[in-house]
Structure 1
């Protein structure tokens, strides 16, 4: 077990349904199986992260299978590099666990961890996906020991690059998913006067070198309710006028592009 105490950074040892460090700090496991490693002084707000309403909309959309190609691609990328290893892999900003569960299925010998700052998300994830170890924690202060992970997956989630550098072993991997240039451009056309393509993420992670990149683009056909759920999952939701929401609700079908960039990095 590579978990560390969020208060003193000493190793956590599991004792029955609790995690304790040698300094005496204790974190109890919830009945759903997750552990809360987000001290109140690190929360920043009363209920950080996505709301229960947003999480339910996301789960409904994901369960309909519209992001299944991305889910499969993420799992396959990891399996190509880490299959057969007793690796420890972290999904940062795992939400309700949709992608994390696919990674666990593709890598049966690995231990998958899912981390999110939203307690409601982790509760949903732990309740459904029992083979993954989920924790409520901040991506800015990862509760993992130095050089303890063989892989980290970051799908849109915020992160602390210094922390990524700290917890990934030499030779380990970081897989990032960012929007491709045409991602959800049809939503943009409903909201903005001029539709601009997503700019490619130009990022270099300290301590990592890029070893691969793959673009995944396909068309989705959604019904009105699914289009509304997807819009709720995006930053565009804050800019959408009421008539946009009504247009989507009334739509029999709505076609839009899914466009993702998967980039693989290796710890040097």
Structure 2
């Protein structure tokens, strides 16, 4: 039996050769790259939901440049400090093309990392490049994993629904949540918007959580035009480029930019 539950009927899924199957006969085949697609049709708002091919390709190129690696190192410290000794598996929620997931997997050989994303293209790219983490296509609103089967959650600038997480996360285990801080990419936002709003993240939840640790990470980046282009293409800024930003992208000058992240460690309050 696997950790997965059937996205249709919620029964446990068993692996038989190159597919997963439940007792009701629902069957899901592994792709040749090694990932499994467990996204229900009614969870799709388009034929190919999630980030598109161009956004994912740009994300991979930008992350490969290492500008955000300090955030990964901070998360590793948190996992080392807070994880129970018996931690067996951790879910990377909204893992994209698997850059972070593979980084964590290399650091913690005794833990099995799972990467979930709604973008089939992202998961395909992740599974093709990184063989050890386990990747699957699904929605973070409807996670096809068995109840209380996961020892930890990591969420990096991706949607998170705490009520859904509470079903699969073991009690007293942690959620590491990374979200943009108020000064994240402030230089680009100043070029795009007349007024700047603070970045705020509202947890979609009914279940109570305790905030047990918080840390802010600020990074001073110096980006060449290609890195800047990839950064913009992996964000919603891509759809809002104006003349000022277009001129900057066409220049050969280095662009100084701030990355600002807020890292929070959350723990589900025990049920009564």
Aligned to 1:219: 220
Q: Aligned-pair distance for 1:199?
A: 4.1
Q: What are the Cα deviations for residues 185-228 of structure 1, in whole angstroms up to 9, with x where unaligned?
A: 000121123344x2454658523211100110120000011111
How many residues are aligned here? 267
- What SS class does the counterpart of residue 3 from structure 2 fall into? coil
Please name the residue that 1:69 is paired with.
70
The TM-score with structure 1 as length reference comes to 0.94
Is the Cα contact below 8 Å between 1:209 and 1:266 reproduced in 2? yes
Is the Cα–Cα contact under 8 Å of residues 82 and 107 in structure 1 kept in the other structure? no
Q: Match of 1:136?
A: 137
Structure 2 unaligned regions, length at least 5: none
User: Matched residues in 2 for 1:249 and 1:165: separation?
Assistant: 47
Distance 1:129 1:209 in 2: 33
Runs of 4 or more consecutive aligned structure 1 residues displaced over 3 Å after TM superposition: 83-86, 199-205
Q: How much does 1:257 deviate?
A: 0.5
Counterpart CA distance in 2 for 1:11 and 1:249 is 53
Per-residue deviation, 1:26: 0.8
SS in 1 for 2:152: strand
- Say if 1:183 and 1:258, in contact at 8 Å, map to a contact too: yes
- The alignment's TM-score, normalised by the length of structure 2, stands at 0.93
CA offsets, 1:26-54, max 9 Å, x none?
Answer: 11111111001013232221010111111
Structure 1 unaligned blocks of 5 or more:
none
The answer to whether the aligner puts 1:27 opposite 2:28 as a matched pair is: yes
State how far apart, in whole Å, the 2-side matches of 1:251 and 1:194 are. 28
1:261 aligns with 2:252: no
* Equivalent residue runs for 1:60-209 within 5 Å: 60-82=61-83, 84-196=85-197, 198-201=198-201, 203=203, 206-209=207-210
* Partner SS, residue 90 of structure 2: strand
